Amino acid sequence: NAGVTQTPKFQVLKTGQSMTLQCAQDMNHNSMYWYRQDPGMGLRLIYYSASEGTTDKGEVPNGYNVSRLNKREFSLRLESAAPSQTSVYFCAGNRDNQGNYGYTFGSGTRLTVV
Amino acid sequence: LAKTTQPISMDSYEGQEVNITCSHNNIATNDYITWYQQFPSQGPRFIIQGYKTKVTNEVASLFIPADRKSSTLSLPRVSLSDTAVYYCLVGPWNTGFQKLVFGTGTRLLVSP
Residues in chain A closer than 8 A to B45 (CB atoms): 104-105
Q: What confidence category does residue A36 fall into, taking pLDDT thresholds of 50, 70 and 90?
A: very high
pLDDT score at B95: 60
The average confidence (pLDDT) of chain B is: 90
Q: Using CA atoms, how far apart are residues B46 and A102, in angstroms rounded to an integer?
A: 7
Residue with the larger pLDDT of the pair A103 and B77: B77
Q: What is d(CA B89, CA B100) in angstroms, rounded to the nearest whole number?
A: 8
Buried b (16+ CB within 10 A) or exposed e, B37-69: bbeeeebbebbbbbeeeebeeeebbbbbeeebe
* C-alpha dihedral (A53, A58, A62, A65), degrees to nearest 10: -20
Q: Is B84 helix (H, G, I), strand (E, B) or coil?
A: strand
* Residues of A engaging B, defined by a Cβ cutoff of 8 Å: 4, 30-31, 33, 35, 41-45, 48, 50-51, 58, 90, 92, 94, 96-108
* Whole-number Å distance between alpha carbons of A27 and A96: 12
Q: Is residue B41 very low, low, confident or very high in pLDDT (cuts 50, 70, 90)? A: confident
Question: Which residues, 6+ apart, have CB-to-CB distance to A8 below 8 Å?
Answer: A21, A109
For the residues A20-28, what does the mean pLDDT come to? 94
At A67, the pLDDT band (50, 70, 90 cuts) reads: very high
Contact B43 A58 (CB under 8 A): no
Closest to A56 measured CA to CA, from A84, A78, A34: A34
